[in-house]
Amino acid sequence: MSAPEPLIGGPRPPAEILLRDVHVLDPRAGIDARHDVRVRGGRIAELGAPGELEREPRGVDADGEHELIDGGGRLRLLPAFFDPHVHLRTPGQEHKEDLETGTRAAAAGGFCAVIAMPNTDPVLDSAPLLRSLRDAAAREARVPVGFLPAITRGLQGEQLSEMAELRQEGALGFTDDGRPVQSAGMLRKALQYQRLCGGVLSLHEEDPTLSRGGAMHEGAVSAALGIGGIPSVSESTMVARDAELAGYEDARVHFQHLSCAASVDAVAAAKARGWRVSAEVCPHHLLLTEEDVRSMDTRMKMYPPLATDADRVALIEGLRSGTVDCVATDHAPHARDEKEVPFEQAPMGSTGLETAFAALHTGLVLPGVIDLALLVERMTAGAALYELPTPTIALGAPANLTLVDLDAVWIAGEHGWESRSENCCFSGRRLQGRVLLTLAAGAIAHRDRALTMVGA
């Protein structure tokens, strides 16, 4: 059986573009210098010294016309980012987001591919539904999308979804995201089934017997607000349990959106034992804490909840050391009226695709907490975790590129959003670093209006 292409996006003409005198940074390829970069037919065709590459004559056929963008030695060209965790809300909740708006938001944030979660309505847990979603993505998606169907049918935790058949239909892996697989026995069956069909099992870790009734991190702020708390052990004990199960079955698991120091420790311990685990962290957990919830702003309500500053620092340290492998946004759009309710009633989640890079650049790179190369590395590392090629700047590689202006300052949300929803936890914040251009799978997926100012 030949597996279908795991990432699937809409038809777009291959880019023909000359990026003149851009500062190319690809830590994996060992590039950190000014170059001319030519993209021809959607692939990286030439890398030259700044000013070396000539603009090609305007082609006879209009499609082949070459565009010139001058980076002035200042604009950075990075491998485009990969987001292993987004909610595109299709099918069933298209009033929040759909494949087109969600991938447009991804492109605006510099992402060349995303992985969509299955907690849709109906739940993505069957081959026919996966096929129809992939068909829709092939028409509408601005950047390629991979799909993770549910581990258990209907996310109910009671019966495995038809994993082998779903894999055959293009499932990248499986997840019950939004919920834990509460039964260890059920998770073990899925881990065993991985031997038949492969596919990473991606786990949302939470012990509902500890988290029930909670709407934010348990601590001083929840005590002061009288809002039920979710203790961080709700997550970390499940990370430890499932890492051990994965070790026992020699299975491959990925831990989603780590939120606390204890979970980082559990992942480190699992990796030290040689178990095949990986982990992701979200920008909001790296930048915000329970103190940001004090105002009861519902944009700050997410699961897992924003925790303490010590947790935040441990997550940053985990990202730096590699215990945490990659950044994921957990982009979770909700309609305005759904979030305009008292905190305890509000649905959890924040949008994040359009702000991830700028927020992390502003909050971590500019103050010198991590360097830009590490951020780029961690924002592209998600692909390999799902056995996909890592976006890279190399001759012959498909153009998965993002051009950023690290000096551009903007207020998040001031000119609206590409996403259909606006529930962004960074909304209104002053961010530095702006994505000007995104090429995904060889095609132009996003072009900032500001680009004409610097373009040819």
User: Given the rule CB under 8 A, which residues bind another protein?
Assistant: 218-229, 231, 296, 337, 340-345
Cβ 190 vs Cβ 174: under 8 Å? yes
Cα-Cα-Cα-Cα dihedral of 270, 273, 276, 282, to 10°?
30
Q: Both ends of the chain: CA-CA distance in Å?
A: 48
Query: Quick one: 292 or 344, whose CB is closer to another protein?
Result: 344
Rounded least distance, CB 287 to another protein, Å: 22
Which residue, 214 or 363, has its beta carbon nearer to another protein? 214
Task: Closer to another protein by CB, 220 or 450: give it.
Answer: 220
Active-site annotation holder among 330, 371, 405, 407: 330
**DSSP at 442:** T
CB of 336 to another protein, least distance (A): 10
Q: Dihedral, CA atoms, 439, 442, 443, 444, nearest 10 degrees?
A: 20
330 is catalytic: yes
Smallest gap from Cβ 212 to another protein, in A, equals 10
- Within 10 angstroms of residue 63's Cβ, the number of other Cβ atoms is 8
Residue 13 vs 213, nearer CB to another protein: 213
* Of residues 296 and 406, the one with the C-beta less far from another protein: 296
Mapped onto helix, strand or coil, the DSSP state of residue 332 is coil
Any idea what DSSP says for residue 257? Answer: S
> What's the rounded Cα separation, in Å, for the pair 279 and 204?
11
Facing residues of 424 across strands? 351
**Under 8 Å CB-to-CB from 118, ≥6 apart: which residues?**
124, 125, 147, 148, 149, 150, 155, 175, 176, 177
Whether residue 128 is preceded by a cis peptide bond, meaning omega within 30 degrees of 0, is no
Q: At what angle do helices 233-249 and 261-272 cross, to 10 degrees?
A: 10
CB of 442 to another protein, least distance (A): 46
Nearer of residues 188 and 343 to another protein, judged by Cβ: 343
| H-assigned helices in 293-450 | 309-321, 336-339, 356-360, 372-380, 382-385
CB of residue 427 vs another protein: minimum separation in angstroms?
Answer: 16
User: Which class for 394: exposed (0-12), middle (13-18), buried (19 or more C-beta within 10 A)?
Assistant: middle
Regarding beta strands 17-26 and 31-40, do their DSSP bridges make them parallel or antiparallel, or are they unpaired?
A: antiparallel
Rounded to a whole number of angstroms, the minimum distance from the CB of residue 344 to another protein is 5
Residue whose CB is less far from another protein, 129 or 221: 221
Tell me the three state secondary structure of residue 411. Answer: strand
The set of catalytic residues is: 330
